[in-house]
Amino acid sequence: MVAEDKVTVTGQTGDLSERFDNHHQAQCFNRNGKTHLAVRGEGSEQKRLAVETDLIRNYNTNCNLQ
């Protein structure tokens, strides 16, 4: 059985080198069997926050809803 492709969490950061160490949603990632991530570069924090909000609303991301 193939796992369903579903966006589990979305977030924004100004520094990817720090974002994944001890991430507060690590248990949720593991519980949902997630192994991949996607990154979109955006220099403006305001735009990053707007994209994050849009993604959360449109994908009902499991780990953001906890």
Residue 36 resides in a domain: yes
Residue 49 resides in a domain: yes
Between the alpha carbon of residue 45 and those of residues 4, 9, 33, 42, 64, the distances in Å are 31, 18, 29, 8, 19
The per-residue pLDDT for 46 is 94
Q: What is the number of domains present in the chain? A: 1
Residue 58 resides in a domain: yes
The per-residue pLDDT for 1 is 43
Q: How does DSSP classify residue 22?
A: T
Residue 10 resides in a domain: no
Residue 2 resides in a domain: no
Residue 61 resides in a domain: yes
Give the global pTM: 0.64
14-42 pLDDT, tens per residue?
Answer: 777 766 666 677 777 778 777 777 788 88
Residue 1 resides in a domain: no
Q: Which range marks the domain in which residue 58 is found?
A: 16-65
